Amino acid sequence: MSRSINERFKALATDNAPGQEIRQGAADIAGTMVGGQLDSRLVDFSHGDVDAFLPTPGAFEAFDAGVREGGKQAYTEYRGSREIRERVSQRLADFTGASIVGDEQLIITPGTQGALFLAVASTVSSGDKVAIIQPDYFANRKLVEFFDGEIVPVQLGYHEDDKRKGLDLGELEKAFEYGARVFVFSNPNNPTGYVYSLAEIDRIAHLAAKFDATIIVDQLYSRLRYSGVEYTHYRAKAGDTNIVTIMGPSKTESLSGYRLGVAFGCQKIITRMEKLQAIVSLRAAGYSQAVLNTWLDEPDGWIDERIRLHEAIRDNLVSLFQAAGLRTAIPKAGSYLFPELPELTVSPEVFVNLLRVQANVIVTPGSEFSPYTPSSVRLNFSQDHHAAIAAVERIVELVNRYRP
């Protein structure tokens, strides 16, 4: 195997990726431990707890109906069942505020991860410059690296008291001037819960048009928006020329176990994505596709209640972190918190391992999201409310134990 492929896979390290902590041992930190175990129920903040926030009503029944459809549902077009694409397109058009031609502009994928992979693979190749927000979802960076693209970082000030608050629009313009022709970002931002303002969206659209750039916007969390937050759908402002929007029911709707996502927008890119899906995984699992029949059509009040419950957890956890002196932005949407650890006697990386081994708490290290956030940790607070509070109390206790 060539040296380049070795390097490529070295860069793809997943040791700290959410859910992979189980593959790490505990032996190497035994000598570092201060104090004993904090006995308690495991809280895995690396992803949401679908036993606390259950899958949307009717999801399993829709899957069952898909199985009973038989071969027609097992072997759909690679881009997914036409009937389901058209149904979901109509609902997504209503949600995002701009029309979608279901048969041409939307593809069903294995999770939003599948959509993101196909979108980047369809627009980025060796040497291409790609603007990436720091911090943002780690796969954005890893995907560009995998296809040998060049990352052009753009900073996001996500704290209320940041001197340069919000997206650094000057830096984004410089990225395009430098040659970036693709810009990938999540809105709401993962891991901070930052929501881009109308002015920011307008400016991105203006720059994208000026530089003829492709925009890939991951709106996975755009349904889970808290009180008083204004949200702007990028495609509603910019049209679908060279735009791909990504969504899916894995998070807010707790349907991750079915692996479903969608990408919609620019017909040319969607067509490429289907060609690629044909050799990557053929299609999203046929029977699972039928679960999308329930999506964006939940019982009255369901989404409001889900938002209300998450907002209550958010408020409790933010208060706990802030009371302990950990700087923590208040997420405007989504279920991630991204608090900063204070100075400790151990590195943040070791502390994250200590949290797992001593406190039965799993979080994701901030270094995954930006080189400038090594002392932050990400928590997905879509958890049992009481368990989440107890786990944050354990984090605070362990922080205090390892203070200098």
3-state secondary structure at position 211:
helix
Burial 179-195 (b: 16+ CB within 10 A, else e): ebbbbbbbbbbbbbbbb
First to last CA, the chain: 47
Residues in contact with its own copies, shown as a per-residue x/- string from 153 to 192 under the rule CB under 8 A: ----------------------------x-----------
With contacts defined by CB under 8 A, name the span among 26-34, 73-81, 83-91, 300-308 that binds its own copies.
73-81
Pick the piece of the chain touching its own copies (CB under 8 A) from 123-131, 152-160, 170-178, 348-356. Answer: 123-131
Q: Contact, 143 vs 166, CB < 8 A?
A: no
d(C-alpha 359, C-alpha 29), whole Å: 14
- Which positions from 28 to 47 touch its own copies by CB under 8 A, shown as an x/- string? -------------------x
Question: What is the closest distance, in whole angstroms, from the C-beta atom of residue 290 to its own copies in the complex?
Answer: 10
Structure tokens at 185: 């970002």
Residue span binding its own copies (CB under 8 A) among the ranges 93-101, 138-146, 359-367, 369-377: 138-146
Contact with its own copies (CB under 8 A) among 31, 160, 228, 279: 279
Identify the three-state secondary structure at position 232.
Answer: coil
Of the candidate residues 257, 299, 325, 371, the single one contacting its own copies (CB under 8 A): 257
Q: With respect to its own copies, which residue has the nearer C-beta, 8 or 159?
A: 8
Q: What is the DSSP letter of 131?
A: E
Report in angstroms how near the CB of residue 50 gets to its own copies at its nearest: 5
Could you tell me the smallest distance in angstroms from the CB atom of residue 402 to its own copies? Answer: 28
| Using rule CB under 8 A, residue 123 touches its own copies | yes
CB 211 within 8 A of CB 178: no
Supply angle C-alpha 195, 186, 123, rounded to 5.
Answer: 145
Interaction mask 302-321, its own copies, x per CB under 8 A: --------------------
Q: Which stretch binds its own copies (CB under 8 A): 18-26, 83-91, 169-177, 218-226?
A: 18-26
Closer of 175 and 285 to its own copies (Cβ) = 285
Give the separation between CA 269 and CA 203, rounded to whole angstroms. Answer: 23
Q: Which of 347, 349, 337, 348 is nearest to 379 (CA)?
A: 337
